[in-house]
């Protein structure tokens, strides 16, 4: 159950699909258009939440693997099966390396997400300041105007919407 938006790409419509998309991004398996969509301002919060959940799940898996390794070690050592224990260690080491590599990639994406969010927030702050200044100027001009014709004053206010800092949010 996905939605296709103006391209051949299918965008997620459920949490599971979004999580799968994030995991594919962490593995560097996404096309550029999907990467850009994931990093769009409207998706940053959900992207960050999904990454946090992935990291938490990986931490639980790693902790569970430590407990299992300890128990297996006791089992192998009590039966003097050093060959079996060595084989077990090799397979768990491969799993651990792979899991830690994926976790590190999740952390890198989390850093990117936080950076994009800071950029978005600072951009939003600048936009709000620009709008407040325009409204204050409009108000002052209306109060100081000796004419009842406010059309040119209103046009100045509406022209603020063409400023790049604001127009990017209107498209």
Would you kindly state where each structural domain of the chain is located, as residue ranges? 39-119
What contacts 24+ positions apart, CB below 8 Å, involve 65-68? 65/92, 65/95, 65/96, 65/99
- At residue 4, the pLDDT reads 41
- Residue range 15-60, pLDDT digits in tens: 999 999 999 999 999 999 999 999 998 899 999 999 999 999 999 9
Task: Please check whether residue 96 is in contact with residue 61, taking contact to mean a CB–CB distance below 8 angstroms.
Answer: no
- Phi–psi pair at 39, nearest 5 degrees: -90, 5
Asked whether 99 and 58 are in contact (CB, 8 A), the reply is yes
| pLDDT value at residue 5 | 42
- Spans of the chain below 70 pLDDT: 1-9, 123-125, 165-171
d(CA 71, CA 88): 12
Predicted pLDDT of residue 165 = 65
């Amino acid at each position: 159950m996905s939605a296709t938006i103006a391209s051949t790409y299918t965008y997620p419509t459920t949490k599971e699909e979004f999580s799968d998309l994030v995991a594919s991004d962490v593995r560097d398996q996404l096309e550029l258009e999907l990467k850009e969509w994931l990093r769009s301002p409207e998706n940053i919060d959900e992207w960050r939440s999904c990454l946090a959940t992935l990291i938490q799940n990986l931490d639980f898996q790693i902790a569970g693997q430590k407990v299992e390794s300890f128990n297996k070690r006791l089992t192998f050592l009590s039966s003097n099966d050093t060959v079996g224990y060595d084989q077990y260690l090799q397979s768990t080491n491969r799993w651990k390396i792979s899991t830690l590599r994926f976790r590190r990639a999740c952390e890198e994406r989390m850093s990117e997400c936080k950076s994009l969010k800071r950029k978005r927030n600072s951009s939003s702050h600048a936009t709000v300041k620009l709008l407040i200044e325009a409204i204050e100027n409009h108000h002052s001009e209306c109060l100081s105007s000796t004419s009842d014709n406010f059309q040119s004053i209103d046009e100045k206010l509406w022209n603020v919407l063409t400023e790049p800092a604001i127009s990017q949010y209107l498209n």
